[in-house]
Amino acid sequence: MAQERGSAMTTAALVLLMVLIGHSEFARAATYTVGGTGGWTFNTAGWPRGKSFRAGDTLVFNYGSGAHNVVAVNKAGYQSCRTPKGSKVFTSGKDQIKLAKGQNYFICNYPQHCESGMKIAVSAA
């Protein structure tokens, strides 16, 4: 009898532990709306400043589909506002992109948009 109760308590403790671990995994991945309420638009380059991102966090790009896009580029593409061949282009207007560890660069490649600050560089730990 006592042994049975003990094993039931062990099971309860294990379940609790699994729930706690599950929760902390869940809490660790954050979701950020790029540009806040203004969304993904011109002069967003300063938006990442002061925030700390982690690999696995999700960036949400909200914008009018057809008015802008989101292109995942490399550092050179970010700096020059040019789109390297084979870059992934997102066009839904509500794109969710998971951050990779290290530097992540995104631009809008509509003519002159990136040049007008529609670009972000995000460093994920």
Residue 99, Ramachandran bin (φ over 0: left; ψ between -120 and 50: alpha; else beta): beta
Nearer to Cu ion, 6 or 64 (CB): 64
Q: Collapsing DSSP states into helix, strand and coil, what is residue 19? A: helix
Find the binder of Cu ion among 110, 116, 117, 121 (CB under 5 A).
110
Tell the smallest beta-carbon distance from residue 86 to Cu ion (Å): 20
Residue 66, Ramachandran bin (φ over 0: left; ψ between -120 and 50: alpha; else beta): left
Nearer to Cu ion, 30 or 121 (CB): 121
Size of the site for Cu ion (CB under 5 A): 5
Interacting residues with Cu ion (CB under 5 A): 68, 108, 110, 113, 118
